């Protein structure tokens, strides 16, 4: 899942402002995959995300294996470095696990497009194939 950024193509796509394209270009080293880092050990990082309607978690890059759990229901939009835009509805307890081979990564943002507060817990595994990014 390594991505390249085609800024000129993204700038012509729906849901991509020039500011978002510029932010994405700077996000490859942004390891802040949540709003608040609430716990870190030698093996894991635990993040919380709480977004009011209209709020957005900036572009960030995942390099570690991780999972997230939705702790509230709601709707969100994610934009990805390859230009893909995905809108998704979440239910309480919905969970996804992601893994990355050596050298793989994923860069995206997360925007609350619903009318309720949207919350997630994300847990990163620091024993993954890739070194953790600085937070």
Q: Is residue 92 part of a domain?
A: yes
Q: Is residue 101 part of a domain?
A: yes
Q: Is residue 133 part of a domain?
A: no
Which residue range is the domain that position 46 belongs to?
7-125
Q: Is residue 82 part of a domain?
A: yes
Rounded to 5°, angle at Cα 95 from 25 and 121: 65
Q: Is residue 36 part of a domain?
A: yes
- Residue 41 has a pLDDT of 98
Q: Is residue 2 part of a domain?
A: no
pTM: 0.87
Q: What is the CATH number of the domain that holds 30?
A: 2.60.120.10
Q: Is residue 63 part of a domain?
A: yes
What secondary structure does DSSP assign to the chain, as a single string? ------HHHHTTSTT--HHHHHHHHHGGG----SSEEEEE-SSEEEEEEEE-TT-EEEEEEE-SEEEEEESS-EEEEEEBTTS-EEEEEE-TT-EEEE---TT--EEEEEEE-SSS-EEEEEEEETTSSSPPPP-
Residue environment code for 104-114, b if the CB has 16+ CB neighbours within 10 A, otherwise e: ebbbbbbbbbb
Report pLDDT digits (tens) over 76-118.
999 998 889 999 999 999 999 999 999 999 999 999 999 999 9
Q: Is residue 11 part of a domain?
A: yes
As for how many domains the chain has, the answer is: 1
Report pLDDT digits (tens) over 30-62.
999 999 999 999 999 999 999 999 999 999 999
């Amino acid at each position: 899942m390594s991505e390249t950024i085609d800024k000129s193509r993204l700038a012509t796509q729906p849901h991509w402002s020039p500011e978002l394209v510029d932010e994405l270009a700077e996000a490859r080293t942004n390891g802040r995959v949540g709003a608040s880092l609430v716990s870190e050990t030698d093996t894991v990082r635990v993040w919380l995300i709480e977004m009011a309607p209209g709020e957005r978690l900036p572009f960030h890059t995942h390099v570690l294996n991780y999972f997230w759990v939705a702790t509230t229901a709601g709707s969100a939009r994610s934009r990805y470095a390859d230009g893909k835009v995905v809108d998704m509805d979440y239910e309480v307890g919905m969970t996804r696990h992601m893994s990355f081979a050596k050298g793989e990564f994923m860069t995206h943002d997360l925007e609350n497009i619903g009318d309720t507060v949207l919350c997630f817990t994300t847990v990163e595994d620091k024993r993954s194939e890739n070194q953790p990014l600085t937070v």
